[in-house]
Amino acid sequence: MSTDGSERLERLLGGPESSWLVDRVRRRLELGRPLTGSVTLGAASPEQRRAVERLLGRRAGTGSSLSVSLDEVDHVLRMSGASSGGLHGAVVLLRGPVRDLGRESTERAAAWRDAHAMLDAVVAGRPELSGWRAWLDATGLVRRVTADSGEARVVLDRLAVLLRRLPSPGIPIGRLAAETCGDAHGLDDGEPLATLAVSAARALGGSPYAGDGTADARRRAWAGVGVHLDELSPVVLCLGLAGDGHSPTGRMLAAARAAGEPCVLTLRQLRRHEVPIVERMVRICENPIVIAAAADELGPHCPPVVCVNGRPSAAVWTLLDLLAAGGARFAYHGDFDWGGIGIAAAVYERLGWRPWRYDTLAYEATLAAGDATPPLNPLTGRPCPTPWDPALSAAMTRRAVRVEEELVLGALLADLSGDGSSPQS
């Protein structure tokens, strides 16, 4: 196109007042629709109306809405020399090549079919998995746990190899992961492959595909196909639990309490403790620094505290379940950020607890007390509900400030020492 034509096109259709018209036309082209008929803009501004009048060389009608004939625009652009390719060509010149959304959709669908090809070949020979395979499609689980069809293909190919090995009696999950996907941690909780594989294990065991999401449910699902989990890696940190003299785990807890030292328990030890652990009140914290500071300051006089240390491991859940079975009540504190809120909500849903300086009043009080300190960190991430105190989520969203557990460590230790005056202690 000549320089004169380019300038003329820019003058007729390239300004911000005409962008709505170009957007509408481009969208039609992307969808494969013809550039015929009219498009209408409701509540058009005077500038938008004048731009159409300049383009068409006539008044654009009256009223609040503005209707433009695409056939007329195409004719004007061709006859004026602004765009020899008419309206279609003008949009390409102004905005660049037009996507073919129909073709892209077809290609995406083909890529997702290819991603499932190896898995579908395995399922074809395993009729017991046919319902599970349909469930994957119905729930969209694969698309939720993978970023795109390329990642899905890698994960599903590994899943297909894994399914050929199941059931596999007596094999540790780490060894199974190493032998089927070349990564001993490939079936760790939270990995996309693990999420899909445990649902397949439930299907092979005749259980509901989704399960209840707990560590015990996952353990049972794997056990149903002969796979046992590592019982030594998941640990839980605690302080001040009474223990007993009747079991190895109970004696460890009793000795640690007498010495005023933190105790680290493995999932293996807790699963072999077959009776409830009896305590009246147990405080739960999110970060190990609370346990360390309490051991330093209070030693053997510290009341029972359990640290979830981020997302609770199977060992954490098992210890809390043993305490709940023994009649314990719980009080919870964690970081005032969305990650901490998510952890707290998971514990609240499973066990129930009352706040330990972990509600709206405590959050606002901490911010007020921090006016003279260096600025606190901004709160980022997606807001989460706070069912124990619905107003807390709203307050955190409004204030947009995170408060880490370390910032209120002194108050928490005062509560543990029995000298605090917190109404929640």
Q: Could you tell me the CATH number of the domain that includes residue 285?
A: 3.40.1360
At 72, is the pLDDT very low, low, confident or very high (cuts 50, 70, 90)?
A: very high
At 11, is the pLDDT very low, low, confident or very high (cuts 50, 70, 90)?
A: confident
Q: Is residue 424 part of a domain?
A: no
Q: Is residue 425 part of a domain?
A: no
pLDDT for the residue numbered 206:
81
pLDDT for the residue numbered 420:
45
Q: State the pTM of this model.
A: 0.55
Of 210, 228, 246, the residue at which a domain comes to its end is: 228
- CA 374 from chain centre, in angstroms, equals 31
Of 180, 195, 228, the residue at which a domain comes to its end is: 228
Asked whether the predicted pLDDT for residue 109 surpasses 60, the reply is yes
Of 228, 246, 281, the residue at which a domain comes to its end is: 228
Asked whether the predicted pLDDT for residue 32 surpasses 50, the reply is yes
Asked if residue 166 lies in contact with residue 95, where contact means CB atoms within 8 angstroms, the answer is no
In degrees rounded to 5, what are phi and psi of residue 38?
-125, 160
Residues 202 and 264 in one domain: no
At 114, is the pLDDT very low, low, confident or very high (cuts 50, 70, 90)?
A: very high
Residues 315 and 383 in one domain: yes
Q: What is the pLDDT of residues 209-222, one digit of tens each?
A: 987 778 778 887 88
What is the per-residue DSSP string for 173-235? Answer: HHHHHHHHHS-TTTTSTTSHHHHHHHHHHHHHTTS-SS----HHHHHHHHHTTTEE--SSS-E
Residue type, 359: D
Question: What whole-number percentage of the chain has pLDDT above 90?
Answer: 58
Residues 48 and 119 in one domain: no
Q: What is the pLDDT of residues 251-273, one digit of tens each?
A: 999 999 999 999 999 988 998 89
**CA atoms in the 13 A half-sphere facing the CB of 245:** 1
Asked whether the predicted pLDDT for residue 419 surpasses 50, the reply is no
Domain limits at 213?
A: 104-228
DSSP 321: H
Q: How far apart are CA 120 and CA 160, in angstroms?
A: 8
Which of 230, 231, 272, 233 lies closest to 249, judged by CA? 272
Asked if residue 249 lies in contact with residue 273, where contact means CB atoms within 8 angstroms, the answer is yes
Q: What is the pLDDT of residues 343-398, one digit of tens each?
A: 999 899 999 999 999 999 999 999 988 654 556 789 988 898 999 999 999 999 99
**Average pLDDT for the chain:** 89
Residues 119 and 79 in one domain: no
Residues 312 and 381 in one domain: yes
CA 99, 105, 106 angle in degrees (round to 5)?
Answer: 115
